[in-house]
Amino acid sequence: MLSALSKVPRLSKFATTFNNTLRYSSGAVTGHVIGIDLGTTNSCVAVMEGKTPKVIENAEGVRTTPSVVAFTKEGERLVGAPAKRQAVNNSQNTLYATKRLIGRRFTDPEVQKDIKVVPFKIVKASNGDAWLEAQGKMYSPSQVGAFVLTKMKETAENYLGTTVKHAVITVPAYFNDSQRQATKDAGTIAGLNVLRVINEPTAAALAYGLEKSDDKIIAVYDLGGGTFDISVLELQKGIFEVKSTNGDTFLGGEDFDNVLVNYLVSEFKKEQGIDLTKDPMAMQRLREAGEKAKCELSSTTQTDINLPYLTMDASGPKHMNLKLTRAKFESLVGDLIKRTIEPCKKAMHDAEVKPSEIGDVILVGGMSRMPKVQSTVQEIFGKKPTKSVNPDEAVAMGAAIQGAVLTGEVKDVLLLDVTPLSLGIETLGGVFTKLIPRNTTIPVNKSQVFSTAADGQTAVEIKVHQGEREMAADNKLLGQFSLTGFPPAPRGVPQIEVTFDIDANGIVKVSATDKATGKEQQIVIQSSGGLSKDQIENMIKEAEANAAKDAEKRELIEAKNQAEGIIHDTESKMTEYADQLPSDQVENLKKKIAEVKELLAKSEGVSPSQLKEAVSGMQKDSLSLFEAAYKKMASANASSSGSGTEEKKEETKKE
């Protein structure tokens, strides 16, 4: 069994390096770099033309493409509008909103919730991830994303008249490491060299601020098809610095659609006594009608939902004819809109800004067109949001700008993004030692020296966690690896340097090096399921609610670690020098050591102060032992020195 690492307090101050130097390689890429907004509901692609980003129309002449993939009985794969058009007749093999599943485990509560509302099959892959099934074949969400990305790549190639190899792809700011890695994988599957994965609100800020020279703080409120993000940025002379980010990776237009569909099902059941949820074709028609009504209610106060021949029973065909007002729709989705308020407040708190200090609030994502959303944003920030960017296109435009920054076409622009959650490792006693706090600017590299927890240890296990709690078990385990084969030595002697490296894509790499031998082991955290919004929020909430309890728990573990070290040193000296003390003193010291060991053996009911008091008593009684040891060592050194002098005198006489 591998032992945990322990911290080296004496080394921690000077052994920690924190480096977020700007590792941007402008000019290293040749050829076109396209910017792709891989959205939950729709996707968009843009490219720079001179100093201006241009959104490219697809084969249907539309600037956005539905993120829908379908598989027909004939084995044909359809992507975009053609896939969406045939969904009514092929709902079980038409995959949509799969971005919400990317990088997630099948057992994730959000995935289980999705299973109940989508017509297609979400299945458990052999590695435990959530995958999809269509026409009897399994697909990973990354694969489905790749089919959409391939369509966007082809759209760009048709416009540019040349092959496109490089891309910048956007992700929700609150995506965790697994989800970012899975998105990058999708780009690779699509045949793209993904130069950068950047956050959607940050990309939108680039589109907003490229031509603006004034310094200001802005907020980007991004409510899209499947996710919600809020980011606070500072714009200063071409530098776009993200101060904080927050959000919900399972809140967006799809949820608004689901609420509306449930309402329509309920109304139809009241009127006709028929449950439409058992009719996949009727449900698909309802979903399409609901989405259309939702969009119409952004510009009108009332709409009609007319669906002839929706279903039938023994008495004949049944139709739906229902009037839906904007007020009714707003009341149905009111709770969803309210869920965006708290993340906004937290983002401002983390950025240490007041609403009055924010110059502009930018709206991004199709749902931001809803009047109730806009009025809520105005209430949160105390000002009307700006509408200077296209909510559907700004993200892709920003991605294209970042691509041009990477090629050197656009100069004097620097993008500084952040990591949304703290990262660290488990150390002795199960403590979570943070190396990189949340909202740290990326790319970033941080190292800290640790040591072994037991004598003769030749291997350590590095457990990488993500979260905000003091104890490792209360945070998300991202991955683990071992560093083995270093020489055995007393506890605390080996120096193991652990380094966290988060690249500009927000993807994590961790390495451990034995400083004596240079032996190194590393891990790139692979896609292994994502953190749900609830997990992320609960980590932070629990950290705040349990701060005092966590601090005491940590203090007790550190006191135990210190006590074990002192016992180890004392017992070593007793073995060697106990004969230098009266027997009653030796017995008394043994008794004190036993009392401390008894406290260490207790799993509960011991306070840090209680343990510290017992250790203090043991140390007082051990003073005479350490004095005796010191005197004997000093005496031995003196006699050794004297003997050497006599020998030299003898040699001189002989000469």
Mean pLDDT of 408-435: 87
**Active site annotation includes 37:** yes
Q: How far apart are CA 77 and CA 391, in angstroms?
A: 29
- CA terminus-to-terminus distance, the chain: 62
The pLDDT assigned to 11 comes to 29
Q: Which residue has the tokens 């699509």?
A: 190
Give whole-number Cα distances, 427 to 16, 456, 460, 492, 539, in Å.
Answer: 16, 18, 10, 13, 19
Question: Would residue 273 be called left, alpha or beta, if left means φ above 0 and alpha means ψ between -120 and 50 degrees?
Answer: left
Least confident of 53-67, 298-312, 500-514, 546-560: 546-560
Give whole-number Cα distances, 58 to 13, 45, 64, 98, in Å.
Answer: 56, 9, 7, 21
CATH of 253-334, one of 3.90.78.10, 3.90.640.10, 3.40.50.2300, 2.60.120.10: 3.90.640.10
pLDDT tens, position by position, 534-581: 543 554 454 455 456 656 776 887 888 888 888 888 888 888 777 777
- The helix or strand, by DSSP H or E, that contains position 426, with its residue range, turns out to be strand 423-427
| 520 pLDDT more than 60 | yes
| 189 pLDDT more than 70 | yes
Ramachandran angles phi, psi of 30, nearest 5°: -115, 155
Show the 3-state SS of 484-540: ECCCCCCCCCCCEEEEEEECCCCCEEEEEEECCCCCEEEEECCCCCCCCHHHHHHHH
CATH architecture of 548-646: Up-down Bundle (1.20)
Exposure of 176 in the CB half-sphere (CA atoms within 13 A): 32
Asked if 448 and 498 count as a contact pair (C-beta separation under 8 A), the reply is yes
Exposure of 312 in the CB half-sphere (CA atoms within 13 A): 6
Question: Pairing relation of β-strands 216-223 and 360-364?
Answer: parallel
CATH homologous superfamily, domain 5-23+418-533: Substrate Binding Domain Of DNAk; Chain A, domain 1 (2.60.34.10)
pLDDT tens, position by position, 575-621: 877 777 788 888 888 888 898 888 888 867 788 888 888 888 888 88
Least confident of 183-192, 201-210, 261-270, 473-482: 473-482
The pLDDT assigned to 58 comes to 94
The pLDDT assigned to 548 comes to 64
Rg, C-alpha atoms of the chain: 32
Q: Which two tokens mark 182?
A: 């899975």
The pLDDT assigned to 9 comes to 36
Q: Which of 99, 476, 553, 592 is catalytic?
A: 99
pTM greater than 0.85 (yes/no): no
| 653 pLDDT more than 60 | no
- What residue segments make up the domains of the chain, in order of their start? 5-23+418-533, 33-251+339-410, 253-334, 548-646
**Active site annotation includes 222:** yes
More confident residue, 15 or 206: 206
Asked if 42 and 65 count as a contact pair (C-beta separation under 8 A), the reply is yes
| 517 pLDDT more than 80 | yes
The pLDDT assigned to 20 comes to 43
Written as one letter, the residue type at 563 is: A
Ramachandran angles phi, psi of 561, nearest 5°: -60, -40
Q: Which of 185, 222, 241, 392 is catalytic?
A: 222
The pLDDT assigned to 524 comes to 65
For residue 96, count CB atoms less than 10 angstroms from its CB and return exposed for 0-12, middle for 13-18, buried for 19 or more.
Answer: buried
The pLDDT assigned to 41 comes to 95
- C-alpha dihedral over 189, 530, 175, 23, to 10 degrees? -70
**Active site annotation includes 200:** yes
- State which fold the 33-251+339-410 domain adopts: Nucleotidyltransferase; domain 5 (3.30.420)
Q: Specify which residues 105 forms β-bridges with.
A: 129
The pLDDT assigned to 533 comes to 43
Q: Specify which residues 42 forms β-bridges with.
A: 66
More confident residue, 307 or 648: 307
pLDDT tens, position by position, 319-377: 999 999 999 999 999 999 999 999 999 999 999 999 999 999 999 999 999 999 999 99
Q: Which of 395, 453, 100 lies closest to 250 in space, CA to CA?
A: 100
Q: Which two tokens mark 75?
A: 């084995």
- The helix or strand, by DSSP H or E, that contains position 566, with its residue range, turns out to be helix 547-577
Instruction: Specify the DSSP class assigned to residue 237.
Output: T
Q: Which two tokens mark 412?
A: 């004097």
Per-residue pLDDT band at 646 (split at 50, 70, 90): low
Ramachandran angles phi, psi of 34, nearest 5°: -95, 150
| 2 pLDDT more than 80 | no
Q: How far apart are CA 12 and CA 34, in angstroms?
A: 44
The pLDDT assigned to 17 comes to 43
Written as one letter, the residue type at 227 is: T
The pLDDT assigned to 12 comes to 30
Q: How far apart are CA 347 and CA 356, in angstroms?
A: 14
Q: Which of 7, 37, 255, 550 is catalytic?
A: 37
More confident residue, 576 or 165: 165
Q: Which of 200, 241, 254, 392 is catalytic?
A: 200
Per-residue pLDDT band at 269 (split at 50, 70, 90): very high
- What are the helix and strand counts (H, E) for the chain? 16, 30
| 291 pLDDT more than 80 | yes
Query: Residue 379: how many CB atoms within 10 A of its CB?
Result: 10
pLDDT, the chain, mean: 85
| 640 pLDDT more than 70 | no
Per-residue pLDDT band at 628 (split at 50, 70, 90): confident
pLDDT tens, position by position, 207-241: 998 777 788 999 999 999 999 999 999 998 888 99
